[in-house]
Structure 1
């Protein structure tokens, strides 16, 4: 097939559209072909040529008169339309890896015939025998713990470096776990797999949110909700809705943010196992939504409820692992940010400063993010020297993490600095900015 006939890739908006993701997961090629036609302009005759199908066969599929289920045909569709393998439940396709990174397999030296021995207990080298052996491998509680440990490690590295480089590995593990869900297993194992898949989908959504790729984030958050709903994990449903609420504040949709966090709180309250730490975190997200709307009294009330719930935490509480990050420094810094969103800079500054002193130094993104918030509250009070010093200290952790959210807060501080751009302390900050970071966007040209 000539390269000119083969698109390099489908539009990212199509590949991350929930409808396309759903169609691919179900291998519903009638929907896939229709979406490819309407969203990418690839017509049935082109689909047929690129996927090595007859035009009449493609037409029958689109009309719902034929289903495609043979693996070799599915692989041709993935390769012809450049649909990533994981979306169709396939292994990673060779074209998904840049040619410079492809490792060429080398044939091992041939052994002498006399040295070749195949123990009777081992399967033959054919694919069916290998897959039959793989299906005899059972999952245990220890396997689930290994998955959970890997998720905790992903979160830790996301805090340190950002999620951009981690995302392919997390997506791969998500698709692997979703594949395991298709097999029949004991309820305890199956439920655990659903919870793990939901956490992985939420983590992928978070990495897209942190990159400010909001449509993709929403698609994965929605998948996480669907997976958690399968096992009625209402606490985790509340967690995903809280993530979506936070995203809505960044998209300047405060009404959506408030509606989402209200739904999250309803889910948490209807769960018998919701802990004070979970409820405290949700109240703080509610405070963010009210503050973005400018509802002063409601913000203060939500902050008070967050601190009340946090005060109820007991060492014996069985907190889910995904909420353990919400410790006292996090409560304090979020309280400061909520006041800052309301324009109450004088109240916000000492809270954020105190939390920064106590924050884990390995959390590069959190330290940069909160330091820029502190600098903005100082600038709001006319403390130019302090603000520039604080922002300068934030540059080192900011340069260590790939996070468009952090870059966005840097841009906002830089724009806020505009009236003071010729002051010596502002010029010194800009000089340090040039050393640490390339221009973050067109709005930053030191």
Structure 2
């Protein structure tokens, strides 16, 4: 029987792309296949026999030309044991060619949820009660500053590593803030704590969204809205709705995404939203229209986003949560909106330009944007460039824990289907399996 204790190493891509190897596989001339594998990959007959569930004598007879291998189950064992892609041997795609993390996943079932009007609807409320019993008096200014500093640190780490690992800390901070809020005596302190709690609830929802756990994300986004509404923070309500609009585009609910984005703009206008805020919200609307392939509406929203961005001044009282929407972000989001509309020739140079300017520490953003660039290049028939770009994206993707990143990788991988036999696609897939194997084993990445 073939070895199953661990996955056998893959053959060098240069061997799999070697015309002699391709020809030998195509006619199932295993004498030549085995000799090429021995010569170029150092896999000797005894190893071939062990990997493929054959006897050494049988392998020797095949290599000497005294025996042929024609049974389908034997050919499949050779493909799996030597890691020869199925298409080279006229077989269906082998299971090992698609890493489990990229396998198609069923959509999370949607559940009707009631808005969490009370804290008791949130997970772990017994911890809240314990903390509330321990808290005394109103928080002093240093406590509030520490909470705000923590939030800024969470934003940074979220970009660098993804939100999943941060969630326990963010949730704990949120519960602690809620306990302080219940004990706060001064109205000014309460308002400050409501603002902190609203952002921590939004950030918790964001970590669930990044993990594609959409029901939990909605629960915390809704709680963030409730907290912001309590102190009539219209601008922050717009921010939360923008997050919910983006989530709706990921859930293939573009109609909801449009409604949330336009409602967010209404709330922002009610609070005299700054040009940067309005530019960001117009971009969310553009994404939603682009998902619906409404070209006229999408282009109008993009133009409005650009117009608002051009009105930004250094003196604008921008809230801290919108600082991320800088010029590279405007450019890359404009490119992605065009890509969603199928306008790859417009999208490609925009995304390329933004990637050159983007902060290299923002691993998740760079992974997203690189996969979008690869997809636009593939749409334009630039297979080699697309695979090269996607291979570069793997470096950023492997640095974060984010189901959304994995989703973008999965989509690009699916788009490669018509090109599986091309050398560039085979090289990318080999590198992809190598990176994912290193991630799963915990071994150092090459």
Same fold (TM over 0.5): yes
Aligned partners of 2:234 and 2:267 also within 8 Å: yes
Superposition deviation, residue 438 in structure 1: 4.2
Structure 2 residue aligned with 1:152:
152
TM-score w.r.t. the length of structure 1 is 0.71
Is the aligned partner of 1:214 residue 2:309? no
Aligned partners of 2:116 and 2:222 also within 8 Å: no
Q: Structure 1: state its 5+ residue gaps.
A: 1-12, 27-82, 93-127, 442-446
Structure 2 residue aligned with 1:432:
431
Aligned partners of 1:238 and 1:265 also within 8 Å: yes
Correspondences of 1:33-432 after superposition (within 5 Å) = 85-86=124-125, 89-91=128-130, 131=134, 135=136, 138-272=138-272, 274-432=273-431
Superposition deviation, residue 332 in structure 1: 0.2
Distance 1:240 1:350, change over 3 A: same
Q: Structure 2: state its 5+ residue gaps.
A: 1-107, 441-446
Greater relative contact order (Cα 8 A, min sep 6): structure 1 or 2? 2
What is the alpha-carbon distance in structure 1 between the residues aligned to residue 145 and residue 408 of structure 2? 36
Superposition deviation, residue 186 in structure 1: 1.9
User: Helix, strand or coil: the match of 1:400?
Assistant: coil
TM-score w.r.t. the length of structure 2 is 0.71
Aligned partners of 1:24 and 1:87 also within 8 Å: no
Superposition deviation, residue 142 in structure 1: 3.0
Distance 1:24 1:140, change over 3 A: closer
Aligned partners of 2:234 and 2:270 also within 8 Å: yes
User: Helix, strand or coil: the match of 1:166?
Assistant: helix
What is the alpha-carbon distance in structure 2 between the residues aligned to residue 435 and residue 91 of structure 1? 47
The size of the alignment, in residue pairs, is 331
Superposition deviation, residue 189 in structure 1: 1.4
User: Helix, strand or coil: the match of 1:89?
Assistant: helix
Alignment partner for residue 120 of structure 2, among 12, 18, 25? 25
Distance 1:153 1:17, change over 3 A: farther
Distance 1:89 1:435, change over 3 A: same
What is the alpha-carbon distance in structure 1 between the residues aligned to residue 115 and residue 308 of structure 2? 41
Superposition deviation, residue 141 in structure 1: 2.8
> What do residues 293-342 of structure 1 show as CA deviations (whole Å, max 9, x unaligned)?
11101111100100110011110111111100000000000000000000
Superposition deviation, residue 91 in structure 1: 4.6
Superposition deviation, residue 369 in structure 1: 0.6
Superposition deviation, residue 185 in structure 1: 2.4
Superposition deviation, residue 260 in structure 1: 0.6
What is the alpha-carbon distance in structure 1 between the residues aligned to residue 332 and residue 124 of structure 2? 42
What is the alpha-carbon distance in structure 2 between the residues aligned to residue 408 and residue 440 of structure 1? 16
RMSD of the alignment, in Å? Answer: 2.4
User: Helix, strand or coil: the match of 1:181?
Assistant: helix
